[in-house]
Structure 1
Protein backbone atom coordinates (compact mmCIF):
# COMPACT_ATOMS: atom_id res chain seq x y z
CA UNK A 1 0.00 0.00 0.00
CA UNK A 2 1.27 3.44 -0.93
CA UNK A 3 0.64 5.65 2.08
CA UNK A 4 0.63 9.09 0.45
CA UNK A 5 -2.88 10.49 0.10
CA UNK A 6 -4.69 7.41 1.43
CA UNK A 7 -7.66 8.22 3.64
CA UNK A 8 -9.59 5.58 5.60
CA UNK A 9 -13.05 6.46 6.95
CA UNK A 10 -15.23 4.30 9.13
CA UNK A 11 -18.96 4.48 8.41
CA UNK A 12 -21.01 6.77 10.61
CA UNK A 13 -22.80 5.64 13.74
CA UNK A 14 -25.75 3.23 13.66
CA UNK A 15 -28.16 2.37 16.46
CA UNK A 16 -26.18 -0.84 17.03
CA UNK A 17 -23.04 1.26 17.54
CA UNK A 18 -24.93 3.53 19.95
CA UNK A 19 -26.00 0.47 21.95
CA UNK A 20 -22.53 -1.20 21.79
CA UNK A 21 -23.97 -4.14 19.84
CA UNK A 22 -21.76 -6.30 17.65
CA UNK A 23 -22.87 -5.49 14.13
CA UNK A 24 -20.66 -7.57 11.88
CA UNK A 25 -22.44 -8.53 8.68
CA UNK A 26 -25.89 -7.31 9.76
CA UNK A 27 -27.27 -4.45 7.70
CA UNK A 28 -28.02 -1.60 10.10
CA UNK A 29 -28.57 1.93 8.70
CA UNK A 30 -26.88 5.10 9.86
CA UNK A 31 -28.65 7.12 12.51
CA UNK A 32 -28.82 10.93 12.58
CA UNK A 33 -25.49 11.23 14.39
CA UNK A 34 -23.92 8.85 11.89
CA UNK A 35 -25.01 11.01 8.98
CA UNK A 36 -23.61 14.06 10.77
CA UNK A 37 -20.29 12.25 11.29
CA UNK A 38 -20.14 11.36 7.60
CA UNK A 39 -20.79 15.01 6.69
CA UNK A 40 -18.01 16.10 9.06
CA UNK A 41 -15.57 13.79 7.31
CA UNK A 42 -16.69 14.99 3.89
CA UNK A 43 -16.25 18.63 4.92
CA UNK A 44 -12.79 17.87 6.28
CA UNK A 45 -11.77 16.20 3.02
CA UNK A 46 -13.17 19.08 0.98
CA UNK A 47 -11.11 21.59 2.98
CA UNK A 48 -8.00 19.44 2.78
CA UNK A 49 -8.24 18.32 -0.84
CA UNK A 50 -10.24 21.03 -2.60
CA UNK A 51 -10.58 20.37 -6.32
CA UNK A 52 -7.99 17.59 -6.10
CA UNK A 53 -10.75 15.37 -4.70
CA UNK A 54 -12.13 14.73 -8.16
CA UNK A 55 -8.87 12.98 -9.12
CA UNK A 56 -9.15 10.47 -6.25
CA UNK A 57 -10.31 6.86 -6.39
CA UNK A 58 -13.22 6.11 -4.03
CA UNK A 59 -13.79 2.58 -2.71
CA UNK A 60 -16.44 1.46 -0.21
CA UNK A 61 -17.53 -1.69 1.52
CA UNK A 62 -20.68 -2.96 -0.21
CA UNK A 63 -22.57 -2.85 3.10
CA UNK A 64 -25.35 -0.28 3.24
CA UNK A 65 -23.96 1.81 6.10
CA UNK A 66 -20.61 2.21 4.37
CA UNK A 67 -22.22 3.09 1.05
CA UNK A 68 -24.48 5.70 2.66
CA UNK A 69 -21.43 7.20 4.37
CA UNK A 70 -19.58 7.29 1.04
CA UNK A 71 -22.49 9.02 -0.70
CA UNK A 72 -22.62 11.68 2.03
CA UNK A 73 -18.86 12.24 1.83
CA UNK A 74 -18.96 12.57 -1.95
CA UNK A 75 -21.89 14.99 -1.71
CA UNK A 76 -19.85 17.19 0.65
CA UNK A 77 -16.99 16.99 -1.85
CA UNK A 78 -19.43 18.27 -4.50
CA UNK A 79 -18.97 15.08 -6.51
CA UNK A 80 -21.53 12.67 -7.94
CA UNK A 81 -22.59 10.71 -4.86
CA UNK A 82 -22.95 7.48 -6.84
CA UNK A 83 -19.58 7.58 -8.63
CA UNK A 84 -17.52 5.17 -6.54
CA UNK A 85 -16.85 1.45 -6.54
CA UNK A 86 -17.37 -1.22 -3.91
CA UNK A 87 -15.07 -4.08 -2.98
CA UNK A 88 -16.33 -7.18 -1.17
CA UNK A 89 -13.02 -7.51 0.69
CA UNK A 90 -13.96 -4.39 2.69
CA UNK A 91 -17.01 -5.95 4.40
CA UNK A 92 -16.95 -5.98 8.18
CA UNK A 93 -15.47 -8.83 10.20
CA UNK A 94 -18.08 -11.49 10.91
CA UNK A 95 -19.10 -12.06 14.55
CA UNK A 96 -21.20 -15.18 13.89
CA UNK A 97 -23.73 -15.99 16.60
CA UNK A 98 -22.73 -12.90 18.59
CA UNK A 99 -24.08 -10.42 16.03
CA UNK A 100 -26.84 -8.28 17.46
CA UNK A 101 -25.67 -8.80 21.05
CA UNK A 102 -23.59 -6.70 23.41
CA UNK A 103 -20.53 -8.25 25.05
CA UNK A 104 -22.27 -8.27 28.47
CA UNK A 105 -25.20 -10.14 26.91
CA UNK A 106 -22.85 -12.71 25.39
CA UNK A 107 -20.98 -13.00 28.70
CA UNK A 108 -24.23 -13.80 30.50
CA UNK A 109 -24.78 -16.72 28.07
CA UNK A 110 -21.19 -17.89 27.64
CA UNK A 111 -18.65 -16.30 29.98
CA UNK A 112 -15.91 -18.74 28.95
CA UNK A 113 -16.14 -17.69 25.30
CA UNK A 114 -15.89 -14.00 26.20
CA UNK A 115 -12.89 -14.74 28.42
CA UNK A 116 -11.24 -16.63 25.55
CA UNK A 117 -11.80 -13.67 23.24
CA UNK A 118 -10.36 -11.22 25.76
CA UNK A 119 -7.28 -13.43 26.14
CA UNK A 120 -6.51 -13.29 22.40
CA UNK A 121 -8.86 -10.87 20.69
CA UNK A 122 -6.82 -10.72 17.46
CA UNK A 123 -7.04 -14.46 16.74
CA UNK A 124 -10.40 -15.29 18.32
CA UNK A 125 -13.20 -16.40 16.00
CA UNK A 126 -16.72 -16.10 17.43
CA UNK A 127 -18.88 -19.24 17.30
CA UNK A 128 -21.30 -19.74 14.43
CA UNK A 129 -21.22 -19.34 10.68
CA UNK A 130 -20.11 -16.19 8.93
CA UNK A 131 -17.42 -15.58 11.55
CA UNK A 132 -13.74 -14.72 11.23
CA UNK A 133 -10.90 -13.46 13.38
CA UNK A 134 -9.12 -10.15 12.89
CA UNK A 135 -6.12 -12.18 11.72
CA UNK A 136 -8.26 -13.74 8.98
CA UNK A 137 -9.70 -10.34 8.13
CA UNK A 138 -6.21 -8.94 7.60
CA UNK A 139 -5.41 -11.81 5.22
CA UNK A 140 -8.62 -11.00 3.32
CA UNK A 141 -7.79 -7.34 2.81
CA UNK A 142 -4.02 -7.56 2.28
CA UNK A 143 -4.28 -8.01 -1.52
CA UNK A 144 -6.51 -4.94 -1.74
CA UNK A 145 -4.17 -2.88 0.41
CA UNK A 146 -1.20 -3.93 -1.72
CA UNK A 147 -3.01 -2.80 -4.87
CA UNK A 148 -3.94 0.69 -3.66
CA UNK A 149 -2.47 3.65 -5.46
CA UNK A 150 -2.02 7.19 -4.10
CA UNK A 151 -5.09 9.38 -3.92
CA UNK A 152 -7.59 6.84 -2.61
CA UNK A 153 -10.44 7.32 -0.15
CA UNK A 154 -11.83 4.20 1.51
CA UNK A 155 -15.04 3.87 3.54
CA UNK A 156 -15.34 0.68 5.52
CA UNK A 157 -15.77 -0.60 9.09
CA UNK A 158 -14.19 -0.64 12.53
CA UNK A 159 -12.83 -4.16 12.23
CA UNK A 160 -11.31 -3.36 8.87
CA UNK A 161 -9.77 -0.23 10.38
CA UNK A 162 -8.09 -2.36 13.04
CA UNK A 163 -6.69 -4.68 10.37
CA UNK A 164 -5.44 -1.68 8.38
CA UNK A 165 -3.73 -0.27 11.49
CA UNK A 166 -1.92 -3.57 12.00
CA UNK A 167 -1.14 -4.33 8.35
CA UNK A 168 -0.18 -0.84 7.24
CA UNK A 169 0.26 1.28 10.34
CA UNK A 170 2.67 -1.02 12.11
CA UNK A 171 0.48 -1.31 15.21
CA UNK A 172 0.85 -4.58 17.12
CA UNK A 173 -1.91 -7.17 16.80
CA UNK A 174 -2.80 -6.78 20.48
CA UNK A 175 -3.00 -2.98 20.27
CA UNK A 176 -4.86 -3.02 16.95
CA UNK A 177 -7.49 -5.42 18.32
CA UNK A 178 -8.14 -3.08 21.26
CA UNK A 179 -8.12 0.18 19.26
CA UNK A 180 -11.29 2.25 19.14
CA UNK A 181 -11.85 3.26 15.51
CA UNK A 182 -13.69 6.61 15.60
CA UNK A 183 -16.55 7.37 13.26
CA UNK A 184 -15.96 11.12 13.18
CA UNK A 185 -12.27 11.06 12.27
CA UNK A 186 -10.23 9.93 9.26
CA UNK A 187 -7.18 7.68 9.36
CA UNK A 188 -4.21 8.82 7.29
CA UNK A 189 -0.66 7.53 6.97
CA UNK A 190 2.73 9.10 6.46
CA UNK A 191 6.35 8.14 7.10
CA UNK A 192 5.89 8.65 10.84
CA UNK A 193 2.93 6.28 11.07
CA UNK A 194 -0.87 6.45 11.23
CA UNK A 195 -2.71 9.61 12.26
CA UNK A 196 -6.35 10.46 12.99
CA UNK A 197 -7.53 13.77 11.54
Structure 2
Protein backbone atom coordinates (compact mmCIF):
# COMPACT_ATOMS: atom_id res chain seq x y z
CA UNK A 1 0.00 0.00 0.00
CA UNK A 2 1.69 3.23 -1.07
CA UNK A 3 1.66 6.20 1.29
CA UNK A 4 2.04 9.71 -0.09
CA UNK A 5 3.36 11.18 3.16
CA UNK A 6 5.98 10.23 5.73
CA UNK A 7 4.62 8.44 8.78
CA UNK A 8 6.37 8.11 12.14
CA UNK A 9 5.17 5.49 14.63
CA UNK A 10 6.01 5.48 18.33
CA UNK A 11 5.08 2.51 20.49
CA UNK A 12 3.90 3.37 24.00
CA UNK A 13 6.42 3.11 26.83
CA UNK A 14 6.84 0.02 28.97
CA UNK A 15 4.15 -1.15 31.38
CA UNK A 16 4.44 -3.66 34.20
CA UNK A 17 2.26 -5.96 32.09
CA UNK A 18 4.90 -5.84 29.33
CA UNK A 19 7.46 -7.05 31.89
CA UNK A 20 5.16 -9.83 33.10
CA UNK A 21 4.35 -11.04 29.57
CA UNK A 22 0.69 -10.25 30.27
CA UNK A 23 -1.67 -9.72 27.33
CA UNK A 24 -2.75 -6.09 27.50
CA UNK A 25 -4.61 -5.81 24.23
CA UNK A 26 -7.17 -3.07 24.74
CA UNK A 27 -6.96 -3.03 28.55
CA UNK A 28 -6.17 0.43 29.89
CA UNK A 29 -2.83 -0.19 31.60
CA UNK A 30 -0.58 2.68 32.68
CA UNK A 31 3.13 2.89 31.96
CA UNK A 32 5.67 2.22 34.68
CA UNK A 33 8.57 4.57 35.54
CA UNK A 34 10.80 3.12 32.83
CA UNK A 35 8.00 3.59 30.30
CA UNK A 36 7.64 7.23 31.26
CA UNK A 37 11.41 7.68 30.81
CA UNK A 38 11.17 5.99 27.39
CA UNK A 39 8.38 8.38 26.34
CA UNK A 40 10.48 11.42 27.24
CA UNK A 41 13.56 9.92 25.58
CA UNK A 42 11.78 9.36 22.26
CA UNK A 43 10.70 13.00 22.29
CA UNK A 44 14.32 14.10 22.68
CA UNK A 45 15.44 11.64 19.97
CA UNK A 46 12.89 12.96 17.51
CA UNK A 47 13.78 16.56 18.27
CA UNK A 48 17.45 15.77 17.59
CA UNK A 49 17.15 13.42 14.60
CA UNK A 50 13.81 14.31 12.96
CA UNK A 51 12.82 17.86 14.01
CA UNK A 52 10.55 18.10 10.95
CA UNK A 53 7.94 16.08 12.86
CA UNK A 54 7.13 19.16 14.94
CA UNK A 55 5.01 20.44 12.06
CA UNK A 56 3.22 17.15 11.46
CA UNK A 57 -0.19 15.87 12.47
CA UNK A 58 -0.05 14.14 15.88
CA UNK A 59 -2.50 11.32 16.63
CA UNK A 60 -2.69 8.61 19.28
CA UNK A 61 -4.58 5.51 20.25
CA UNK A 62 -7.08 6.47 22.99
CA UNK A 63 -5.62 4.03 25.55
CA UNK A 64 -3.97 5.62 28.60
CA UNK A 65 -0.49 4.23 27.89
CA UNK A 66 -0.44 5.81 24.43
CA UNK A 67 -1.95 9.12 25.56
CA UNK A 68 0.59 9.40 28.38
CA UNK A 69 3.41 8.52 25.97
CA UNK A 70 2.24 11.20 23.55
CA UNK A 71 2.01 13.86 26.25
CA UNK A 72 5.39 13.08 27.81
CA UNK A 73 7.01 12.89 24.37
CA UNK A 74 5.52 16.22 23.26
CA UNK A 75 6.53 17.92 26.54
CA UNK A 76 10.11 16.69 25.99
CA UNK A 77 9.94 18.23 22.50
CA UNK A 78 8.96 21.57 24.02
CA UNK A 79 5.46 21.71 22.50
CA UNK A 80 1.96 21.69 24.00
CA UNK A 81 1.53 18.18 25.45
CA UNK A 82 -2.23 18.20 24.80
CA UNK A 83 -2.16 19.33 21.14
CA UNK A 84 -2.96 16.03 19.43
CA UNK A 85 -5.99 14.03 18.46
CA UNK A 86 -7.20 10.50 19.17
CA UNK A 87 -8.23 7.79 16.74
CA UNK A 88 -9.76 4.54 18.07
CA UNK A 89 -8.60 2.64 14.97
CA UNK A 90 -5.05 2.89 16.39
CA UNK A 91 -5.89 0.73 19.43
CA UNK A 92 -3.93 -2.46 19.95
CA UNK A 93 -5.43 -5.68 18.65
CA UNK A 94 -7.67 -7.23 21.25
CA UNK A 95 -6.89 -10.64 22.71
CA UNK A 96 -10.54 -11.04 23.76
CA UNK A 97 -11.02 -13.35 26.74
CA UNK A 98 -7.25 -13.90 26.95
CA UNK A 99 -6.56 -10.31 27.98
CA UNK A 100 -5.00 -9.99 31.46
CA UNK A 101 -3.53 -13.51 31.14
CA UNK A 102 0.13 -14.34 30.55
CA UNK A 103 1.19 -16.50 27.61
CA UNK A 104 2.01 -19.24 30.12
CA UNK A 105 -1.57 -19.04 31.42
CA UNK A 106 -2.91 -19.34 27.87
CA UNK A 107 -0.68 -22.32 27.03
CA UNK A 108 -1.74 -24.09 30.22
CA UNK A 109 -5.47 -23.35 29.93
CA UNK A 110 -5.89 -23.56 26.14
CA UNK A 111 -3.13 -25.83 24.81
CA UNK A 112 -4.95 -26.64 21.55
CA UNK A 113 -5.68 -22.98 20.78
CA UNK A 114 -2.16 -21.95 21.77
CA UNK A 115 -0.80 -24.52 19.31
CA UNK A 116 -3.10 -23.19 16.55
CA UNK A 117 -1.89 -19.66 17.23
CA UNK A 118 1.73 -20.78 17.12
CA UNK A 119 1.11 -22.46 13.75
CA UNK A 120 -0.38 -19.30 12.17
CA UNK A 121 -0.06 -16.15 14.29
CA UNK A 122 -1.24 -13.91 11.43
CA UNK A 123 -4.65 -15.53 10.92
CA UNK A 124 -5.34 -16.87 14.43
CA UNK A 125 -8.13 -15.11 16.31
CA UNK A 126 -8.28 -15.57 20.12
CA UNK A 127 -11.74 -16.18 21.61
CA UNK A 128 -13.60 -12.87 21.36
CA UNK A 129 -10.50 -11.14 19.97
CA UNK A 130 -8.85 -10.08 16.71
CA UNK A 131 -6.30 -11.66 14.44
CA UNK A 132 -3.40 -9.73 12.98
CA UNK A 133 -5.23 -10.03 9.67
CA UNK A 134 -8.28 -8.28 11.14
CA UNK A 135 -6.06 -5.60 12.70
CA UNK A 136 -4.39 -5.09 9.32
CA UNK A 137 -7.79 -4.32 7.76
CA UNK A 138 -8.53 -1.78 10.52
CA UNK A 139 -5.15 -0.07 10.07
CA UNK A 140 -5.46 -0.07 6.27
CA UNK A 141 -8.73 1.82 6.77
CA UNK A 142 -6.89 4.36 8.96
CA UNK A 143 -4.10 4.78 6.38
CA UNK A 144 -6.63 5.89 3.77
CA UNK A 145 -7.28 8.94 5.98
CA UNK A 146 -3.59 9.88 6.38
CA UNK A 147 -3.49 12.99 4.18
CA UNK A 148 -0.37 14.71 5.53
CA UNK A 149 2.87 13.84 7.35
CA UNK A 150 1.81 12.15 10.59
CA UNK A 151 3.29 11.02 13.88
CA UNK A 152 1.19 8.35 15.64
CA UNK A 153 1.65 6.92 19.12
CA UNK A 154 0.24 3.45 19.12
CA UNK A 155 1.06 -0.20 19.93
CA UNK A 156 3.35 -3.04 18.94
CA UNK A 157 0.70 -4.93 16.97
CA UNK A 158 -0.22 -1.82 14.99
CA UNK A 159 3.43 -1.14 14.15
CA UNK A 160 3.83 -4.75 12.97
CA UNK A 161 0.91 -4.57 10.55
CA UNK A 162 2.18 -1.20 9.28
CA UNK A 163 5.49 -2.88 8.46
CA UNK A 164 3.52 -5.32 6.32
CA UNK A 165 1.26 -2.75 4.70
CA UNK A 166 3.96 -0.15 3.98
CA UNK A 167 7.12 -2.17 3.33
CA UNK A 168 5.77 -5.50 2.12
CA UNK A 169 7.33 -7.50 4.95
CA UNK A 170 6.06 -11.10 4.87
CA UNK A 171 2.98 -11.81 7.02
CA UNK A 172 4.67 -14.82 8.60
CA UNK A 173 7.42 -12.57 9.99
CA UNK A 174 5.29 -9.69 11.24
CA UNK A 175 3.84 -11.15 14.49
CA UNK A 176 7.34 -11.84 15.85
CA UNK A 177 8.96 -8.57 14.73
CA UNK A 178 10.54 -6.71 17.67
CA UNK A 179 8.90 -3.30 18.08
CA UNK A 180 11.06 -1.21 20.36
CA UNK A 181 9.87 1.08 23.13
CA UNK A 182 11.64 4.43 23.52
CA UNK A 183 12.37 4.65 19.77
CA UNK A 184 10.48 5.81 16.68
CA UNK A 185 9.85 3.93 13.44
CA UNK A 186 9.86 6.18 10.36
CA UNK A 187 8.09 5.05 7.19
CA UNK A 188 8.99 6.81 3.96
CA UNK A 189 9.19 5.76 0.29
CA UNK A 190 8.23 2.16 1.04
CA UNK A 191 10.99 1.74 3.63
CA UNK A 192 11.15 1.81 7.42
CA UNK A 193 14.00 2.93 9.64
CA UNK A 194 14.44 3.25 13.39
CA UNK A 195 15.21 6.59 15.02
CA distance in 1, matches of 2:160, 2:63: 18
CA distance in 2, matches of 1:171, 1:147: 22
Size of the alignment, in residue pairs?
Answer: 194
TM-score normalized with structure 1 length? 0.93
Partner of 1:122 in structure 2? Answer: 122
CA distance in 2, matches of 1:39, 1:79: 12
| Counterpart contact for 2:53–2:151, Cα < 8 Å | no
| Corresponding residue SS for 2:157 | helix
Partner of 1:32 in structure 2? Answer: 33
| Counterpart contact for 2:31–2:65, Cα < 8 Å | yes
TM-score normalized with structure 2 length? 0.94
Task: Indicate the larger mover: 3-12 or 116-125.
Answer: 3-12
Structure 2: unaligned runs, 5 residues or longer? none
Alignment of 1:25-174 (within 5 A): 25-50=26-51, 52-127=52-127, 129=128, 131-174=129-172
| Counterpart contact for 1:53–1:77, Cα < 8 Å | no
| Corresponding residue SS for 2:167 | coil
Superposition deviation, residue 5 in structure 1: 3.3
CA distance in 1, matches of 2:173, 2:121: 10
| Corresponding residue SS for 2:113 | helix
Superposition deviation, residue 150 in structure 1: 3.9
Structure 1: unaligned runs, 5 residues or longer? none
| Residues 127-177 of structure 1 deviation map (CA, whole Å, 9 limit, x = unaligned) | 1x3x11010011011121122134211000111111111111211111111
| Residues 13-38 of structure 1 deviation map (CA, whole Å, 9 limit, x = unaligned) | 00100111110011110000101111
CA distance in 2, matches of 1:163, 1:59: 17
| Corresponding residue SS for 1:24 | coil
| Counterpart contact for 1:39–1:73, Cα < 8 Å | yes
| Residues 36-95 of structure 1 deviation map (CA, whole Å, 9 limit, x = unaligned) | 111111001111243x44421000000110000000111011111001000010011000
